Chain A
Amino acid sequence: MIPEEKIKEACVEILRRSATQLPMDAVNALRRGYENETDDVPRMQLKAILDNIDLAVKTGTPMCQDTGVHIFFVNIGKVDVNGLDSVINEAVAEATESVPLRPNAVHPLTRKNPGTNVGVRMPYINYHFSDNDYLEIGVMPKGAGSENMSRLAMLTPAKGLKGIKEFALETMLNAGGKPCPPVIFGLGIGGSADIAMHLGKQALLRPLGERHPEEEIANLEREILAAINDLGIGPMGMGGNTTLLGVSAEYAHCHTASLPVAINIQCWAARRSLVRLYPDGLAEYPLEVIQ
C-alpha cells in the first residue's frame, strides 16, 4: 500500500511545480516564437512572457495569477492505494494555502467561493488503469481565459476533414487575442460530444512538437498549425507570426452518423506536472521543466 501521506505530499508538490515551472517543451516553443518575430509589439509580448517565466522559477511564484481549476489524470498501476479522492482534495486545499494558488472554484450559480479550490466535482479526477508497477498522477491547472474559448462542433460526416479544418479556423477567429495567445489546440475528434471534449483536453498532455503516431492525424496537426499561424493574430492578439504554439490531436471511433470535433484551447502557460509513486514510497517527477 502506498501511504496516503506520501500521495498527498506528492500531489501538493505537482500542484506547486505546475504553477511555478513551465515544461521545457512549452518554453522552447515560446523561445522559437520570439526568434521568429520581427516586429516590436509581438517581440515585446513574448519577451515579457519569457522574462516572467524566469522570474516565476527564481522566486517560486505562480507564473500566472490564474492558477486554474485542477484537472487530475490518475493512472493506477499494479499497486495498492486507498482513498485517492479525498487525498487529492486535501492536497488541493493545502496547496491553495501553501503555494499559494488563487481560489478559483466557485458554485456555478451562486458564485460562492469556498476559498479552497475544492467543491462539488472539483478538483476533477480522471481515473485510468495500467499494468505499470507505479501509481501515476498528473495535474493540469486550467485557466479560464483559454477554457472559455474552447468549443465543440457536432459535424455531419459529409463535412469530413474539410469541416474539421473549417472549425479550427473559426475557433481561432472567434478566440482572437482573448485566450492569451500564443495558444495550443487540443483537438479531439470522434467519439461522442463528451468524448471529443475529453480527448481535446487529454491531447494537451502530450509534449509540444510530438506528433500523433498515425500519419493522417499527424498531417492534420501540421497543416492546422502552419495555416493558423498565417492569420497574424499574434501574441496577445496584438499582431505577429506566433498565434499557435502547437496542435495535438487525439481521436476515437464514433457513430457512423456523426463527426464530433472539439478544440480545447490552452494558453501559453501550458502548465502540467506528473508524479510516479512506487510501493516503496519513492516519488519520481519525470517531466522536464525550466530550472
Chain B
Amino acid sequence: MSEKRLTVPLSEDDVRALDAGDIVYLDGIVYTGRDEVHIHALEHAKEGKEIPVDFKDGVIFHCGPIMKKDGDKWVTVAAGPTTSSRMNSLEPEFIEKFGVRAVIGKGGMSAPTIEACQKFGCVYFAITGGAAVSIAKGVEDVLGVEWFELGMPEAIWILKTKNLGPLIVGIDTKGNSLFADVDKEVEANVPKVREKLGI
C-alpha cells in the first residue's frame, strides 16, 4: 500500500501503476456524473452527437453535490459519493467509449467494470460515503456546469480539485477489487453467522 498524489489528466501509465489498496490524492479537473449523465452520454454517443465535456484521460465522480450560488459563482457545499452499483450496467461502455481513466464512488462495482478497468486502463477510487463536507474541501473551484436541466444532483459539475482524497484504489487495472475480496470473506463468515442466529 502506497500513498500518491496524481494530477488529472491521468495517463494510462499513471493508473496502471496503482494497486488495489493504494491511497491517492488528486489535483485537477473532476467531472461529476451519475445515473442521468451515464444514460444521456451513452445515448448521445450512439446517435453520433457530441457531449459537452471531454472525459478522455479524465475522472468521473459518482456524485450529486449540493451547490450554492454566491453571486454569479457556484460554490460546492457538500459533495460525497453516491452508490456506484447503480451505474454497473453502464460503466463498462462508458469507460470504453469516453476513455475515462478513473471513476470515483462508493460501494464498489461489478465484474464487467473490473474487466473494463483491466482492458482499457481505468481505476475505481472509493471515497467515504457521506463524508460530504470533508470531501468538498478538496474542491477548489467550480469551473462550470453542463446539462443543468437534468437537475442539480444529475448535472455534470466541472470541479477543479486540489488534494481531493483520501481515495482508496478499490479496483485496479490488474483485475483486483477490494470489494470482491471483502465479498469472499463475508461469504466465508456466513455459516458462522447462521449458526449464531440458529438458522
Q: Is A239 an interface residue (CB 8 A)?
A: yes
> CB-nearest residue of chain A relative to B69?
A100
In the complex, what residues of A have CB within 8 A of residue B85's CB?
178
> CB-nearest residue of chain A relative to B132?
A65
A236 touching B133, Cβ below 8 Å: no
A112 to B160, CA, bound (A): 28
Q: Is B78 an interface residue (CB 8 A)?
A: yes
B107 touching A165, Cβ below 8 Å: no
In the complex, what residues of A have CB within 8 A of residue B36's CB?
111
- Expressed in whole angstroms, the minimum distance between the Cβ of A257 and any Cβ of chain B is 23
Known A-B contacts A236-B126, A267-B130; A230 and B196 likewise in contact (beta carbons under 8 Å): yes
Number of B positions contacting A (CB below 8 A): 53
Q: Is A233 an interface residue (CB 8 A)?
A: yes
A119 to B36, CA, bound (A): 20
A102 to B126, CA, bound (A): 22
B134 touching A55, Cβ below 8 Å: yes
A162 to B194, CA, bound (A): 10
Known A-B contacts A48-B128, A232-B185, A233-B182; A165 and B192 likewise in contact (beta carbons under 8 Å): no
In the complex, what residues of A have CB within 8 A of residue B199's CB?
162, 165-166, 169
Map CB proximity to A onto B45-56 as digits: 1 under 8 Å, 0 otherwise: 000000000000
In the complex, what residues of B have CB within 8 A of residue A282's CB?
none
A65 touching B79, Cβ below 8 Å: yes
Q: Is B121 an interface residue (CB 8 A)?
A: no
Known A-B contacts A51-B134, A64-B78; A236 and B186 likewise in contact (beta carbons under 8 Å): no
B166 touching A177, Cβ below 8 Å: no
In the complex, what residues of A have CB within 8 A of residue B196's CB?
223, 226-227, 230
Number of A positions contacting B (CB below 8 A): 57
In the complex, what residues of B have CB within 8 A of residue A59's CB?
133
Name B128's contact: one of A52, A102, A232 (CB within 8 Å): A52
Q: Is B37 an interface residue (CB 8 A)?
A: no
A63 touching B130, Cβ below 8 Å: yes
A180 to B132, CA, bound (A): 13
B151 touching A230, Cβ below 8 Å: no
A224 touching B190, Cβ below 8 Å: no
Q: Is A134 an interface residue (CB 8 A)?
A: no
B182 touching A238, Cβ below 8 Å: yes
- Expressed in whole angstroms, the minimum distance between the Cβ of B158 and any Cβ of chain A is 17
B106 touching A236, Cβ below 8 Å: yes
B8-16, B58-66, B92-100: which lies at the A interface? B58-66
A65 touching B126, Cβ below 8 Å: no
Q: Is A193 an interface residue (CB 8 A)?
A: no
A16 to B131, CA, bound (A): 18
In the complex, what residues of A have CB within 8 A of residue B65's CB?
65, 102
A31 to B133, CA, bound (A): 19
In the complex, what residues of B have CB within 8 A of residue A61's CB?
77-78, 133, 136
In the complex, what residues of B have CB within 8 A of residue A79's CB?
none
Known A-B contacts A64-B130, A100-B77, A180-B129; A231 and B197 likewise in contact (beta carbons under 8 Å): no
Known A-B contacts A63-B132, A232-B189; A177 and B80 likewise in contact (beta carbons under 8 Å): no
Taking CB atoms and an 8 Å cut-off, the chain A residues in 69-119 that contact chain B are 100-104, 106, 111, 113, 115
Q: Is B71 an interface residue (CB 8 A)?
A: no
A65 touching B106, Cβ below 8 Å: no
Name B182's contact: one of A51, A145, A165, A239 (CB within 8 Å): A239
A223 to B106, CA, bound (A): 29
A250 to B3, CA, bound (A): 46
A67 to B36, CA, bound (A): 19
B151 touching A103, Cβ below 8 Å: yes
Map CB proximity to B onto A130-145 as digits: 1 under 8 Å, 0 otherwise: 0000000000000011
Q: Is A287 an interface residue (CB 8 A)?
A: no
- Expressed in whole angstroms, the minimum distance between the Cβ of A131 and any Cβ of chain B is 38
B132 touching A165, Cβ below 8 Å: no
In the complex, what residues of B have CB within 8 A of residue A15's CB?
none
Q: Is B168 an interface residue (CB 8 A)?
A: yes
A179 to B133, CA, bound (A): 19
A65 touching B80, Cβ below 8 Å: yes
- Lowest 6 CB-CB distances: which A-B pairs, in order? A113-B151, A180-B129, A48-B128, A52-B131, A65-B78, A64-B130
Chain A to chain B contacts (Cβ below 8 Å), 5 pairs: A52-B128, A62-B77, A102-B65, A176-B179, A269-B130
Contacts from A to B (Cβ < 8 Å): 41, 44-45, 48-49, 51-52, 55-56, 59, 61-67, 100-104, 106, 111, 113, 115, 144-145, 148, 162, 165-166, 168-169, 173, 176-180, 223-224, 226-228, 230-234, 236-239, 267-269
